[in-house]
């Protein structure tokens, strides 16, 4: 594997995957939605940039020209997720790429979360085009809570006591580079969950111990979230996230760490590990 196209390369996950691929000696071409996003992708290690409109497919075929593999990550809670997957996978077929990795989500068939179900449908579309595609299904990232932990306040619009098996983003990125750069992962689906089961309240306790300052866990009322962070979202995105919060309220989001442990060949990083080394 010499050149990989990373779709969504300017985002948090795309930057981590780009860094991991380049550390494995793989050249990364970054697909971004606008030229203004190019500098962010270059800073993560991308060697070239392609501007792509995932909504229309404009620029996709040019982006795929000369690449050996692709890492496809759609924009978060995007309503057109399934059609985007169809466009991207179709372009991959036309380009004859050797390997294709689709970034999905843990428990994509959970009917309580519409954006998870769109991931499940997108997986089917990708596999219709590319039977050898690899699907990664990560849990929520530890990194999503890092800034809040350092600020001393983990606020969540769902139960503080339901369980989660959050995962280190850099571990996910390492797996992404592995399955793209090495054979033997074609047609396989991997759940990627962290090594410990912790509630938000327990994560706050761990963060306080590691960081050496108080970290409180705070339950945010849904109305407060809707009027605050949710106010800038589209109605569809807001409803998707409210459904997710309700699901988290009932049972959190828990997976098994064994697949990630096997792929890494070591113990996945814990919440304390990430707090210590970030």
**pLDDT tens digits for 18-70?**
999 999 999 999 999 999 999 999 999 999 999 999 999 999 999 999 999 99
Report the percentage of the chain scoring pLDDT > 70.
100
**Confidence at residue 1, expressed as pLDDT on a 0 to 100 scale:** 61
Please state the rounded mean pLDDT for residues 70-81: 95
Q: What is the pLDDT of residue 278?
A: 80
Q: Look at residue 255 in the predicted model and tell me its pLDDT.
A: 98
DSSP 8-state secondary structure symbol assigned to residue 193: -
For the beta sheet containing 48-51, the strands, ordered from the edge strand earlier in sequence to the opposite edge, are: 48-51, 27-32, 3-7, 69-72, 99-103, 134-138, 189-192
Q: In the numeric block, which tokens belong to residue 215?
A: 């970290």
- 89-93: list long-range contacts, CB under 8 Å, 24+ apart: 89/125, 89/126, 89/128, 89/129, 89/130, 89/133, 90/129, 91/57, 91/60, 91/61, 91/63, 91/64, 92/64, 92/129, 92/130, 93/129, 93/130
Q: Is 112's pLDDT higher than 70? A: yes
Which pLDDT score, from 0 to 100, does residue 188 have?
98
pLDDT at 248 over 90: yes
Q: Give the pLDDT confidence score for residue 23 in this predicted structure.
A: 95
109-129 mean pLDDT: 98
pLDDT in tens, 126-183: 999 999 999 999 999 999 999 999 999 999 999 999 999 999 999 999 999 999 999 9
Cα 5 to Cα 103, 114, 122, 125, 221: the distances in Å are: 13, 28, 19, 19, 41
Domain boundaries of the chain, sorted by first residue: 3-139+168-192+255-268
The class (CATH top level) of 3-139+168-192+255-268 is: alpha beta
pLDDT band at 271 (very low <50, low <70, confident <90, very high): very high
Other CB atoms within a 10 A radius of the CB of residue 55 amount to 13
Q: How far is CA 130 from the centre of its chain?
A: 21
- Residue range 66-95: mean pLDDT, rounded: 96
Average pLDDT of span 6-17: 96
Answer whether 133's CB lies under 8 Å from 126's CB. Answer: yes
DSSP 3-state of 76: coil
């Amino acid at each position: 594997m010499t050149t990989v196209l990373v779709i969504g390369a300017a985002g948090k996950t795309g930057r981590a995957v780009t860094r991991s691929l380049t550390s494995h000696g793989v050249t990364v071409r970054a697909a971004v939605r606008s030229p203004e996003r190019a500098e962010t992708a270059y800073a993560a290690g991308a060697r070239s940039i392609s501007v792509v409109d995932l909504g229309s497919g404009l620029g996709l075929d040019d982006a795929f020209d000369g690449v050996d593999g692709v890492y496809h990550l759609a924009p978060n809670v995007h309503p057109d997720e399934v059609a985007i997957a169809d466009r991207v996978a179709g372009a991959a077929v036309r380009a004859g790429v050797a390997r294709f990795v689709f970034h999905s989500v843990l428990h994509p068939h959970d009917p309580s979360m519409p954006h998870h179900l769109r991931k499940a449908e997108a997986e089917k579309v990708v596999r219709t085009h590319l039977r050898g595609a690899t699907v990664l299904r990560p849990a929520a990232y530890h990194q999503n809570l890092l800034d809040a932990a350092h600020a001393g306040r983990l606020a969540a619009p769902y139960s503080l006591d339901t369980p989660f098996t959050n995962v280190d983003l850099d571990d996910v990125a390492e797996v992404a580079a592995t399955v793209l750069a090495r054979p033997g992962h074609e047609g396989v689906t991997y759940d990627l969950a962290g090594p410990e089961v912790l509630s938000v309240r327990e994560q706050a306790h761990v963060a306080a111990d590691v960081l050496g300052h108080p970290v409180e866990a705070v339950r945010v009322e849904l109305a407060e979230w809707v009027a605050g962070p949710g106010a800038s979202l589209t109605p569809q995105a807001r409803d998707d996230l409210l459904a997710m919060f309700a699901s988290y309220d009932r049972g959190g989001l828990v997976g098994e760490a064994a697949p990630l442990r096997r792929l890494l060949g070591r113990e996945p990083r814990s919440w304390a590990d990430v707090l210590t080394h970030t």
